[in-house]
Chains A and B, each alone.
Chain A
Amino acid sequence: MRYFSRRIGFFLLTLWAVVTLNFLIPRLQPGDPAELMVQNLAGKNAQLNRAQVEAMRDLLGAPSGSLLDQYWSYLGQLAHGNLGISYTYYPYTVAQVIGKAFWWTLVLVGTVQILSFAIGVLLGAFAAWRRNSRFDTAVTSISTFVGTLQPFWIALLLIYGLGYGLGWFPTAGGYDESTPGFNGAFIYDAVSHAFLPALTLMIVTPIGWVLGMRNTMIMNLGEDYIKLARAKGLPDRTIALRYAARNALLPSVTGFALALGGVLGGTILVETVFDYPGLGRLMGEAVGIKDYPLLQGLMLLTAVATLVANLIADLLYGVLDPRARKATA
């Protein structure tokens, strides 16, 4: 039990640190948000219109009171689930903006992560089982090579090749002419738009799993219990899947939980390149436009998602592997 309470205590402490940093960092940035907003709207080759800046200051509302007062009211707001009002989408709230982008990323990156995990782990396990075979060499060398490529570069290649060159898939946006909702036209539209970003991610995401799984499994295959299983004359399939792969999966499960937490961080560059309406693009834009409330909301969401995923992984690990519980108890 002590293992679990320690994990939860650690979680709460980290959460507090994240919230506090999230409060402080935007306040340490140079630049007046109102001036930045007006400049962004006008473009860099334009004089700052001071009447507009004054109006914008009035609109955004300057923070009042001491830093400590601001901190308390920020915590109070958060406790009520209030993330503030976005600068860019004013008067829409941060929660409304994030709510729009959330599902796009969850479906796209979530699906990709689950598929990548399954494919990656299977390929890795098979490569380890048949290590030094032609299959193993091919999988490992291709993975290592593709792993050095930048996802957004792959994205650009796909856009020009499959998008503009062959014209098979749309190159930008999440959907086009259909009306969002649960109807066939929209689902078809959304899936065809998601195809290229998903393909880009599917090329790069499984690699970590392939290599990780292969290495752990090779290590496990050298363990005594495998030898024992062989000595007992168990069939290869059982040894590979029920003994070696099952044990090798443990670190990957932790990694997978973390990766799922990272889903909400999105994939800034890939979403930006495809103009995909998800959290990644939103975060990229919030950074570019210095929309601090939105940025804070996104950072908080990402951090909390990662922390919760981490906590779940920790707790799950404790259940799956009795050694972890005993080691810290």
Chain B
Amino acid sequence: MTTRSFRSRAGRGAVAVTAAALLLLAPACAGSRVADQKQQTKSSSGASGLIPELNLPSEADTSMGGLVNYNPFAPQQTVRTWLFESLMQQNSLNCKVTPWLATGYDWESPSKLVFTIRQGVKWSDGSAFTAKDVAFTFNLAKKYPAIDAAGVWNDTFGAKARSVTADGDKVIFDFTGPAVSKFSYIIAQKIVSQKEFGSVGDPAKYVSKQPISTGPFKVASNNGRRVVLERRPDYWQADKIKVQKLVLEGNYDANQAAAKLKAGELDFYTGEIPNPQKTFVSADPRTNHVWYAANGVTVLAPNLTRKPFDDVKFRQALAYGMDKQSATDKATYGLMKVASQTGLPLPEKQDMVPAKYAGQNTVIPFDPAKANKLLDAAGYTKSADGKRHNPDGSPIKITFSVQAGWIDYEAMADELTSDFRKLGLDIKENKMPPEAVDQQKKTGNFQMMINYMGAGCDYAHGMGATVASSEIPTRTTIKGNVEHYTNPAVDKAIAALGSTTDPQQTKQQVGVLVDAMMTDYPVLPILYAPARAIYRTDHAVGWRPRMTRTPIRRTSRSCGSPT
């Protein structure tokens, strides 16, 4: 029970930025509508038109009263979203970039990136934010690799940087080679001030108690349990901030969070609550809502170095033999959709699907008859006991490694195991702690497991991580290609992705990866992994209700960029 609650609590990540933007901008755009304004005057917010207060859970995964640290380089930050800001915000779902502390960027060549820094931004202490602060932040990471989470000064996502310099309102990144892939990580780096961090020595070891930040809120009070953030009227886009106070309090497990949400003591939660429709929304559908969007793909990863998974025909048969719909209903209570074999979360990334698959349904249907036929044709015939064996006559015995305690993964694994049994395969589940599954990823000593396949906005390291031969895990490092897939054409496409800034070229190379997914079945997508928010709207006047009904892209058009 304990472990499970922490797992579900840790469901932030990509969601955090989404959540931030949602909170900031949703009331702003909807607030312009007449109907909502009528409602606003009715509420206690009065003439100011501001939402007086919203309650959110603590942003630190764990918080021990009084151990405050606002340092954005610390693993646990007392406040993660609302204080420090980055150069740009990238919507993790459709990859649209919104200018933030930088107003624009330009790849002068694949090894030279120039940002134009926004003028008129003020730090929370009133001093002016300049391009020098940006250059300072990135150069600090050069001196202290422990804070270089964007990998600017090493070759993790492309060539390392030679220099980062400020010139007027420009910041120039000069790389030793093509470094296009670094973009998503660079724009997400939180920018700190030279004033605060200039003289603190090792920034990783520094405890920041009086943060100097550019963000929409500043700390009004923190008694070690309850952090109260107050809207900054001098924030550079203060007109869009419609919330006067944010209260961050408590590390709730799913039970507590559901109860607090229902009781109106919590307005917004991004953790995993089992069946939120039933436990939360149905209690009062007018104010209680959930928002689940496709953020990545949960896939079945067979070990391609083992028989019979080394045979593409066997993998193809498995793809038709999986009842993905039933697995999805059981794992997500029908909130998510079954995944396309392209490896791209659709419809969010529909633009990237190659023309030749455009009209097709790329979700492989559940068709056990076809699966059986494919297996028979490939020589995996049944013995007298009804169990299939390899074409060379040796028996097939499959062990499915499952992350115990990850309830959605367990539900998927249970469904798939029973589906595969019906095909005549001798398969059993081995449920073990998630760290033990991670260990198997490193050793390569497993037969099949469930894995997460990111699409990312940097396709070379998002989608590419699952299929690039350089991404096969090593004994010491977990990487994305747990199934050990190798394909020279795919490797070439990924290299090309890392050195192109041309969208047409990017789409073409992603097409190579999609092709590999559609014809080689290196992994078998099951369902879309969610970005999620569970929230109530009665305290947030003007909040756009029922996000789930409108496709994301449509909301983003009518409303700027709510995600």
Query: Do A88 and B223 touch (CB < 8 A)?
Result: no
Query: Do A50 and B15 touch (CB < 8 A)?
Result: no
Query: Do A96 and B149 touch (CB < 8 A)?
Result: no
Query: Do A175 and B225 touch (CB < 8 A)?
Result: yes
B290 → A minimal CB distance (Å): 16
CA distance A52 to B146 in the complex (A): 9
Query: Do B61 and A176 touch (CB < 8 A)?
Result: no
A36: nearest chain-B partner, CB-CB: B435
Residues of A within 8 A of B462 (CB): 47
> Which of B62-70, B119-127, B190-198, B321-329 binds A?
B62-70
Query: Do B13 and A288 touch (CB < 8 A)?
Result: no
Question: A277 interface residue, CB < 8 Å from B?
Answer: yes
> Which of B82-90, B129-137, B474-482, B511-519 binds A?
B474-482
Query: Do B67 and A58 touch (CB < 8 A)?
Result: no
CA distance A125 to B243 in the complex (A): 61
Mark contacts of A167-192 with chain B using CB atoms, 8 A cut-off: 1 yes-contact digit, 0 otherwise.
Answer: 00001111111111000000000000
Interface hits, B487-531 → A, CB 8 Å: 529-530
B63 → A minimal CB distance (Å): 8
Question: A6 interface residue, CB < 8 Å from B?
Answer: no
Given known pairs A90-B74, A91-B74, the reply for A47 and B11 (CB within 8 Å) is: no
Q: How large is the interface on B (under 10, 10 to 19, 20 to 34, 35 or more residues)?
A: 35 or more
Question: B439 interface residue, CB < 8 Å from A?
Answer: yes
Question: B252 interface residue, CB < 8 Å from A?
Answer: yes
Residues of B within 8 A of A299 (CB): none
Query: Do A176 and B226 touch (CB < 8 A)?
Result: yes
CA distance A164 to B264 in the complex (A): 11
Query: Do A172 and B256 touch (CB < 8 A)?
Result: yes
A64 → B minimal CB distance (Å): 15
Query: Do A90 and B76 touch (CB < 8 A)?
Result: yes
> Which of B1-9, B163-171, B281-289, B538-546 binds A?
B1-9
> Which of B32-40, B151-159, B373-381 binds A?
B151-159
B149 → A minimal CB distance (Å): 5
Question: B253 interface residue, CB < 8 Å from A?
Answer: yes
A122 → B minimal CB distance (Å): 34
Query: Do B7 and A44 touch (CB < 8 A)?
Result: yes
Question: B241 interface residue, CB < 8 Å from A?
Answer: no
Question: A230 interface residue, CB < 8 Å from B?
Answer: no
A108 → B minimal CB distance (Å): 14
Given known pairs A44-B11, A173-B250, A175-B225, the reply for A91 and B435 (CB within 8 Å) is: no
A174 in complex: contacting residue of B65, B206, B255, CB < 8 Å: B65
Query: Do A32 and B225 touch (CB < 8 A)?
Result: no
Query: Do B296 and A45 touch (CB < 8 A)?
Result: yes
A278 → B minimal CB distance (Å): 10
B529: nearest chain-A partner, CB-CB: A45
B249 in complex: contacting residue of A40, A44, A56, A173, CB < 8 Å: A173
Query: Do A43 and B149 touch (CB < 8 A)?
Result: no
Mark contacts of B532-555 with chain A using CB atoms, 8 A cut-off: 1 yes-contact digit, 0 otherwise.
Answer: 000000000000000000000000
Interface hits, B334-360 → A, CB 8 Å: none
CA distance A180 to B222 in the complex (A): 11
Query: Do B225 and A173 touch (CB < 8 A)?
Result: yes
Residues of B within 8 A of A88 (CB): 61-62, 75-76
Query: Do B3 and A41 touch (CB < 8 A)?
Result: no
Query: Do B67 and A59 touch (CB < 8 A)?
Result: no
The 4 closest A-B pairs by CB, nearest first: A51-B151, A288-B6, A47-B454, A42-B13
- A residues adjacent to B (C-beta < 8 A): 29-32, 35-37, 40-56, 58-59, 87-92, 96-97, 100-101, 152, 156, 159-160, 164, 171-180, 268-269, 272-273, 275, 277, 282, 284-285, 287-290
Q: 16 interchain pairs (CB within 8 A)?
A: A41-B13, A41-B75, A45-B295, A45-B296, A47-B461, A53-B477, A59-B146, A88-B61, A89-B69, A90-B76, A91-B69, A171-B259, A171-B260, A176-B226, A272-B253, A277-B225
A sample of 12 more A-B contacts (CB under 8 A), given A30-B435, A97-B67, is A43-B13, A45-B296, A45-B452, A46-B452, A51-B150, A55-B146, A88-B62, A90-B75, A175-B65, A177-B226, A179-B223, A272-B5
